């Protein structure tokens, strides 16, 4: 059976030593009271909940899956999911970072980030149920009417009710402009009330028995809607219509008509939903639904990146434990434990390479994910408009990187960690193959990783002539200059600076090419995102190395070996992972022609 130990020490390193989160938070009126002890206490409790309550349900949830009662349209998630959710609500976890005006604890997003990393490590499928509620909460908080907010936000915040995103239809996922679900005004009902008819698919947590009610955020077309993506509106459609006192009332005809059978996340109910005249209220402005939904989608994209991070961490932990225990063959450089029948497999360089790949991706991803959470805290809490804009821009730039780079890395890392187990990795008992199957969805949902790359290169980078990228690049340039005279840092800052220059040059080249042929963006975007992902990771790994070097010097012989491990992992990253960019830059530069030359009929 797999193990999971909440990576509290590394989280504390990122929070306190790398990012000085408590000092940063002190500058924000809303979080001025948060100190390191509070942060540590919260993540420790969160880790216990993840490891003790949610993790034990991971394999059983995968094996059992969800069941739909076709007569009642009710869905039963796997055994134990409901009880674990009840404990989650009891513990106040849904309200951790929500607005105190609606019953939230108002703690910083960085804490919610750490909570969710650990929940995802413990059980990605289970975490989908509370996870979707955050996006629904954000969306209603930003675009709901006062009445909607007063009625629904406390329920989402407490976790009494959960939320969903109903976007996809059978004929459209990426291209929501094609959607057909209709919303028609209800004669005699209060203004803003509509009846919705249509079919939605791939609705995560669309139906389940964990919560008393489910709030569906549904994209649909009003009768007078223009065609395409400019004619989409957003509606709130509760499973049970809410009475004014907040109690669930009459059942609304939005039904689960089928469950998807999937490669992974089998414990998560992925529902086909029929809307048969279900009553809903408009959220935000008519025909502006896509923009409103994007609030939810951006939160969800970061959440998916965090799923990749969580799986990378738990897969690493298990592979490392196995590699230190399993004995097979001798070290090529001579037996390491001659009195044993064989050496442990961690003596083999390629086993170490697979482990360190996962470790470097987990720790680099954690630094980036907490960093972006802190940016969001600043964006939401600062009084300074310029700072808010600066933070929002940086979040916008980094979001597609977090989503795509962390989930692609998780695919690589979980597969490597499974490989460390040899044949045992392929059988279900050890739990390793489940991490791989679960990790695969993260590259697809909330916008495929190709879509993320187009968002990055087309919209976030070329869309503003590189302004957001340059702003982030300034952090790198400043860091490289600061460390320019620090001899011990040369092995890190030199390749970082070199890659920074190459990205600048590549961006200019691609911008010019795209000016002539917009397809050039599509031809290079996926390579470009991965190059930028490495640039961001190289920056954080160099910064982490700096902290580790300083601590080692300070502590001397007998110091905390954590910093030694951090430094070795940084060196591994620069030696073995960063060089992937050499090939990617070549393919990105080779242009779109080799992709477009072949006639469609010849495929």
Active site residue 446: yes
Q: Report how far residue 558's alpha carbon sits from residue 303's, in angstroms, rounded to the nearest whole number.
A: 39
Look up tokens 């020490």; give the residue.
Answer: 9
Q: Are 355 and 420 in contact (CB under 8 A)?
A: yes
**Is 391 one of the binding residues for its own copies (CB under 8 A)?**
no
3-state secondary structure of 258: strand
Q: Are 545 and 493 in contact (CB under 8 A)?
A: no
Could you tell me the smallest distance in angstroms from the CB atom of residue 275 to its own copies?
19
According to CB under 8 A, which one of 3, 427, 467, 477 is a site residue for its own copies?
A: 427
Residues 548-567 that bind its own copies (CB under 8 A): 561, 564-565
Q: Report how far residue 207's alpha carbon sits from residue 239's, in angstroms, rounded to the nearest whole number.
A: 9
Nearer to its own copies, 98 or 442 (CB): 442
Could you tell me the smallest distance in angstroms from the CB atom of residue 501 to its own copies?
17
Through-space distance between the first and last CA atoms of the chain, rounded to whole angstroms = 45
According to CB under 8 A, which one of 142, 342, 471, 547 is a site residue for its own copies?
A: 342
Nearer to its own copies, 109 or 510 (CB): 510
Burial label for 313, CB within 10 Å (0-12, 13-18, 19+), is buried
Structure tokens at 6: 């909440």
Could you tell me the smallest distance in angstroms from the CB atom of residue 212 to its own copies?
29
Q: Judging by DSSP bridges, how do beta strands 161-166 and 213-220 pair with one another?
A: parallel
- Residue 117: closest CA among 8, 199, 35: 8
Q: Report how far residue 463's alpha carbon sits from residue 460's, in angstroms, rounded to the nearest whole number.
A: 6
For 489, which DSSP code? Answer: G
According to CB under 8 A, which one of 333, 338, 485, 554 is a site residue for its own copies?
A: 333
Q: Report how far residue 302's alpha carbon sits from residue 348's, in angstroms, rounded to the nearest whole number.
A: 36
E strands in 205-244? 213-220, 233-238, 240-242
Q: Report how far residue 196's alpha carbon sits from residue 254's, in angstroms, rounded to the nearest whole number.
A: 9
Look up tokens 């640039």; give the residue.
Answer: 535
According to CB under 8 A, which one of 137, 411, 537, 540 is a site residue for its own copies?
A: 411
According to CB under 8 A, which one of 105, 199, 390, 419 is a site residue for its own copies?
A: 419
Structure tokens at 545: 């190395």
- Residue 297: closest CA among 134, 419, 473, 187: 134
Q: Report how far residue 252's alpha carbon sits from residue 255's, in angstroms, rounded to the nearest whole number.
A: 8
According to CB under 8 A, which one of 141, 200, 359, 552 is a site residue for its own copies?
A: 359
**Is 255 one of the binding residues for its own copies (CB under 8 A)?**
no
According to CB under 8 A, which one of 199, 328, 390, 504 is a site residue for its own copies?
A: 328
According to CB under 8 A, which one of 43, 183, 220, 346 is a site residue for its own copies?
A: 346
Residues 161-180 that bind its own copies (CB under 8 A): 168, 171-175, 177-178
Binding region for its own copies (CB under 8 A) out of 35-43, 247-255, 323-331, 377-385: 323-331
According to CB under 8 A, which one of 67, 251, 428, 505 is a site residue for its own copies?
A: 428
According to CB under 8 A, which one of 415, 499, 537, 545 is a site residue for its own copies?
A: 415
Residues 451-510 that bind its own copies (CB under 8 A): 453-454, 458
Q: Report how far residue 123's alpha carbon sits from residue 428's, in angstroms, rounded to the nearest whole number.
A: 15
According to CB under 8 A, which one of 308, 425, 473, 533 is a site residue for its own copies?
A: 425
**Is 601 one of the binding residues for its own copies (CB under 8 A)?**
yes
3-state secondary structure of 199: strand
Residues 199-218 that bind its own copies (CB under 8 A): 201-202
**Is 592 one of the binding residues for its own copies (CB under 8 A)?**
yes
Nearer to its own copies, 20 or 174 (CB): 174
**Is 348 one of the binding residues for its own copies (CB under 8 A)?**
yes
- Residue 508: closest CA among 528, 533, 522: 528
**Nearby residues of 337 by Cβ (< 8 Å), 6 or more positions away:** 343, 344
What string of DSSP letters covers 346-385?
A: GGSHHHHHHHHHHHHHHHHHHHHHHHHHHHHHHHHH-S-H
Q: What value does the CA radius of gyration of the chain take, rounded to a whole number of Å?
A: 24
Nearer to its own copies, 26 or 326 (CB): 326
Residues 516-545 that bind its own copies (CB under 8 A): 517-519, 521-523, 525-526
Could you tell me the smallest distance in angstroms from the CB atom of residue 261 to its own copies?
4
Structure tokens at 146: 């006062």
Nearer to its own copies, 30 or 502 (CB): 502
Nearer to its own copies, 175 or 482 (CB): 175
According to CB under 8 A, which one of 5, 145, 331, 494 is a site residue for its own copies?
A: 331
Nearer to its own copies, 249 or 561 (CB): 561
Nearer to its own copies, 269 or 281 (CB): 269
Residues 34-93 that bind its own copies (CB under 8 A): none
Binding mask 213-252 for its own copies (x = CB under 8 A): ----------------------------------------
Could you tell me the smallest distance in angstroms from the CB atom of residue 94 to its own copies?
27
Could you tell me the smallest distance in angstroms from the CB atom of residue 31 to its own copies?
34
Binding region for its own copies (CB under 8 A) out of 67-75, 98-106, 424-432, 478-486: 424-432
Structure tokens at 471: 């702003």
Q: Report how far residue 131's alpha carbon sits from residue 133's, in angstroms, rounded to the nearest whole number.
A: 5
Q: Judging by DSSP bridges, how do beta strands 182-185 and 193-204 pair with one another?
A: antiparallel
**Nearby residues of 189 by Cβ (< 8 Å), 6 or more positions away:** 279
According to CB under 8 A, which one of 223, 341, 556, 558 is a site residue for its own copies?
A: 341
**Is 182 one of the binding residues for its own copies (CB under 8 A)?**
no
Among residues 207, 379, 433, 446, the one annotated as catalytic is 446
Residues 107-126 that bind its own copies (CB under 8 A): none
According to CB under 8 A, which one of 102, 445, 492, 539 is a site residue for its own copies?
A: 445
Residues 259-318 that bind its own copies (CB under 8 A): 260-264, 270
Could you tell me the smallest distance in angstroms from the CB atom of residue 494 to its own copies?
14
With vertex at residue 381, the alpha carbon angle to CA 377 and CA 386, rounded to the nearest 5 degrees, is 100
**Phi, psi at 365, each rounded to 5°:** -65, -40
Look up tokens 């392929």; give the residue.
Answer: 426
Q: Which residues are catalytic?
A: 446
């Amino acid at each position: 059976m797999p193990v999971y130990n909440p990576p509290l020490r590394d989280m504390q390193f990122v929070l306190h030593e790398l990012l000085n989160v408590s000092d940063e938070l002190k500058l924000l009126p809303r979080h001025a009271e948060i100190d390191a002890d509070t942060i540590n206490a919260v993540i420790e409790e969160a880790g216990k909940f993840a490891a003790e309550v949610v993790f034990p349900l991971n394999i059983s949830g995968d094996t059992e899956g969800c069941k739909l009662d076709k007569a009642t349209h009710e869905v039963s998630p796997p055994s134990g999911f409901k009880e674990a959710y009840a404990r989650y609500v009891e513990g106040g976890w849904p309200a951790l970072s929500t607005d105190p005006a609606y019953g939230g604890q108002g703690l910083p997003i960085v804490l919610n980030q750490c909570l969710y990393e650990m929940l995802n490590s413990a059980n990605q499928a289970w975490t989908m149920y509370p996870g979707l509620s955050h996006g629904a909460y954000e969306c209603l908080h930003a675009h709901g009417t006062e009445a909607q907010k007063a009625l629904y936000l406390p329920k989402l915040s407490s976790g009494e009710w959960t939320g969903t995103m109903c976007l996809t239809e059978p004929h459209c996922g990426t291209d929501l402009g094609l959607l057909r679900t209709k919303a028609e005004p209800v004669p005699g009902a209060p203004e803003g009330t509509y009846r919705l008819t249509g079919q939605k698919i791939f609705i995560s947590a669309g139906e389940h028995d964990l919560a008393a009610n489910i709030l569906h955020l549904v994209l649909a077309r009003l009768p007078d809607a223009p065609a395409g993506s400019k004619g989409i509106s957003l509606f709130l459609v509760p499973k049970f219509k809410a009475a004014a006192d907040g109690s669930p009332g009459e059942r609304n005809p939005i039904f689960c008509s089928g469950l998807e059978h999937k490669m992974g996340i089998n414990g998560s109910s992925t529902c086909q939903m029929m809307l048969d005249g279900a009553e809903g209220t408009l959220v935000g402005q008519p025909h502006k639904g896509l923009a409103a939904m994007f609030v939810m989608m951006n939160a969800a994209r970061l959440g998916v990146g965090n799923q990749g991070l969580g799986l990378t961490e738990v897969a690493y932990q298990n592979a490392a434990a196995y590699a230190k225990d399993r004995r097979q063959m001798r070290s090529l450089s001579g037996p390491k434990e001659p009195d044993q029948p064989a050496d442990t497999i961690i003596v083999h360089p390629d086993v170490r390479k697979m482990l360190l790949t996962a470790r470097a991706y987990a720790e680099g991803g954690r630094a980036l994910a907490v960093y972006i959470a802190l940016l969001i805290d600043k964006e939401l809490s600062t009084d300074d408009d310029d700072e808010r804009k600066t933070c929002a821009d940086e979040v916008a730039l980094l979001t597609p990187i977090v989503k795509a780079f962390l989930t692609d890395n998780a695919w690589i890392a979980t597969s490597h960690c499974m490989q460390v187990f040899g044949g045992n990795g392929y059988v279900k008992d050890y739990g390793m193959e489940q991490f791989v199957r679960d990790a695969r969805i993260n590259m697809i949902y909330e916008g495929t990783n190709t879509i993320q790359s187009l968002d990055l290169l087309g919209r976030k980078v070329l869309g503003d002539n590189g302004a957001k990228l340059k702003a982030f690049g300034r952090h790198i340039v400043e860091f490289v200059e600061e460390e320019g005279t620090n001899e011990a840092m040369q092995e890190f800052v030199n390749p970082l600076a070199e890659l920074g220059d190459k990205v600048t040059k590549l961006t200019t080249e691609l911008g010019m090419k795209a000016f002539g042929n917009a397809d050039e963006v599509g031809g290079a975007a996926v390579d470009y995102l991965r190059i930028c992902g490495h640039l961001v990771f190289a920056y954080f790994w160099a910064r982490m190395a700096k902290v580790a070097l300083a601590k080692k010097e300070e502590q001397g012989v007998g110091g905390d070996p954590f910093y030694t491990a951090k430094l070795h992992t940084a060196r591994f990253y620069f030696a073995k992972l960063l060089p992937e960019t050499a090939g990617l830059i070549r393919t990105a530069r080779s242009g779109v022609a080799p992709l477009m030359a072949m006639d469609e009929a010849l495929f």
